[in-house]
Amino acid sequence: MPSSQRTFPVQTGAHDTALTAGNQVRVRADGDNLSAAVAVLTHPDLAGIVDVVAWVRDGWLTVANAGGASRVALADPTGPWQVLRGHDPVAVQDPMHGVPMDAALDDPSPPNSRNSYPLAGVRLASAFADPHRSPDIVVVHSAAHHWPERGGHLGEHGSLDAGQSRAPLLLSGAGVRGRGMLDRFARTVDIAPTLALLAGASMTGPQGAEIDGRPLADLCEPGARHVVGLLWDGANCNDLLNMAGTGELPAVARLLARGCALAGGAIAEFPSVTLTNHTSALTAVGPGRHGILNNVYFDRETGRRIIANDSSTWHVACDQLRDGVWTIFEAIAAARPGVSTACVNEPVDRGATYSTFALV
């Protein structure tokens, strides 16, 4: 341990824990490791680093930080949250928080008390739903924290808050009825059902009877001859739409002129990272159902560390999909036999007629 770091003992009943200031946290527990870890991670000395800690136990999803704790029943994660102590860490769940760009710039990297965590219960419940791949505990770093000495940077993705969870969603061209900027939001799990609707198909069927998303049927209708989906990875819709409006992205502005964009974008599944959300966008289900829990995760059933988001493994990411999950390509093939589909530089390609990753 570097000499500049300090270790703080934390007494939690029978548990002997230690808080290490700096970049390391150590936990020593004689009994309940989870409680010991929570005690360390919610210690006031880590308040500037740890935004929210979440875990599941006895049918409850609980979130906590140094300022307070709350919980919601797993049976209904949309239901009311019970405040257990202090301030509810996810008290604000407004999906339109920080919209438009000026609102986000007025309060950059807000602390927990001024931040928003859209659909926190539903998204966290999904992250904990896989019996073998879900984590025991989730730790979300604060909006302002980063590790520059380790190559980190402000705005590192993966978090639960609105700023990190808002992806662009723009619909344009044949079959799109919506026009202009719409003061609303959707979810990434809504993307596959909407693409399927435009293509004259449905994500529901023999394999996809239950999905987490819904088609944006008030904005689109079937009948497009060609349907093209573009995934802007890592782009916040505030930035994209602002640049389109200022003329910096004229091609995006032309798309918007022939369609619509949601000012609140598409709220990502948690964690808000690439492979988890590409998979959700193209299967219409969250990570607890499709099985891609993160860019890197551990599978207890096989005892393997799964690296999904790497140049050496992307092309086999679909091998990790859970049974019963249907991709958009499989849905179109079932509804419209003979119609060709293509998947370019995207690992969630199962069922595509042509895939660049299949060549690998």
| Predicted confidence (pLDDT) per residue in 224-259, tens digit | 889 999 998 888 899 999 999 999 999 999 999 999
- Could you say which of 116, 145, 164 is where a domain stops? 164
pTM for this predicted structure: 0.89
- Could you say which of 164, 186, 202 is where a domain stops? 164
Q: Is the pLDDT of residue 117 over 80?
A: yes
190 and 332 inside one domain: yes
Q: Is the pLDDT of residue 119 over 90?
A: yes
20 and 144 inside one domain: no
| Beta partners for residue 267, in sequence order | 166, 187
Q: Is the pLDDT of residue 24 over 50?
A: no
Cis upstream peptide for 271 (omega within 30°): yes
Q: CB neighbours (10 Å) of residue 91?
A: 16
Question: Would residue 259 count as lying in a domain?
Answer: yes
Q: Is the pLDDT of residue 9 over 80?
A: no
Question: Would residue 4 count as lying in a domain?
Answer: no
56 and 151 inside one domain: yes
pLDDT for the residue 313 = 86
345 and 210 inside one domain: yes
Query: How far is CA 149 from each of CA 30, 146, 233, 281, rounded to the nearest angstrom?
Result: 34, 9, 25, 34
pLDDT for the residue 359 = 84
Phi, psi of 191 (to 5 degrees): -70, -50
Q: Domain span at residue 300?
A: 167-359
Please name the amino acid found at residue 210.
E
Phi, psi of 15 (to 5 degrees): -95, 140
54 vs 145, higher pLDDT: 54
153 and 214 inside one domain: no
Question: Would residue 212 count as lying in a domain?
Answer: yes
Percentage of the chain lying above the pLDDT 90 cut:
76
Q: Is the pLDDT of residue 189 over 60?
A: yes
311 vs 43, higher pLDDT: 43
* 13-33 mean pLDDT: 42
Structurally, how many domains does the chain consist of?
3
Highest mean pLDDT among 7-16, 25-34, 69-78, 303-312: 69-78
Q: Is the pLDDT of residue 309 over 60?
A: yes
Q: Is the pLDDT of residue 295 over 90?
A: yes
Model confidence pLDDT, tens digit, residues 258-278: 999 999 999 999 999 999 999
Residues in the chain: 360
pLDDT for the residue 21 = 35
- Neighbouring residues of 176: CB distance < 8 A, sequence distance ≥ 6: 198, 219, 220, 258, 259, 260
220 and 209 inside one domain: yes
Among 7-11, 212-216, 237-241, 330-334, the least confident range = 7-11
75 and 101 inside one domain: yes
4 vs 128, higher pLDDT: 128
Question: Would residue 2 count as lying in a domain?
Answer: no
182 and 253 inside one domain: yes
37 and 51 inside one domain: no
pLDDT for the residue 155 = 63
pLDDT for the residue 26 = 42
Starting at the edge strand found earlier in the chain, the sheet holding 180-182 runs 170-172, 259-262, 180-182
Question: Would residue 266 count as lying in a domain?
Answer: yes
Query: How far is CA 172 from each of CA 60, 136, 356, rounded to the nearest angstrom?
Result: 41, 41, 25
Q: Is the pLDDT of residue 282 over 80?
A: yes
Q: Is the pLDDT of residue 12 over 70?
A: no
Angle at 144 between CA 273 and CA 133, to 5 degrees: 30
pLDDT for the residue 204 = 85
Question: Would residue 3 count as lying in a domain?
Answer: no
Among 42-56, 206-220, 272-286, the least confident range = 206-220
Percentage of the chain lying above the pLDDT 70 cut:
89
Rounded CA gap, 128 and 136, in Å? 8
Rounded CA gap, 43 and 30, in Å? 19
Q: Are 341 and 329 in contact (CB under 8 A)?
A: yes
| Beta partners for residue 57, in sequence order | 60
Q: Where in the chain does DSSP place strands (E)?
A: 7-12, 15-20, 50-57, 60-65, 68-73, 82-86, 138-141, 166-167, 170-172, 180-182, 186-187, 259-262, 266-267, 296-299, 304-307, 342-343, 354-355
229 and 158 inside one domain: no
Q: Is the pLDDT of residue 102 over 80?
A: yes
20 and 51 inside one domain: no
Question: Would residue 308 count as lying in a domain?
Answer: yes
Question: Would residue 276 count as lying in a domain?
Answer: yes
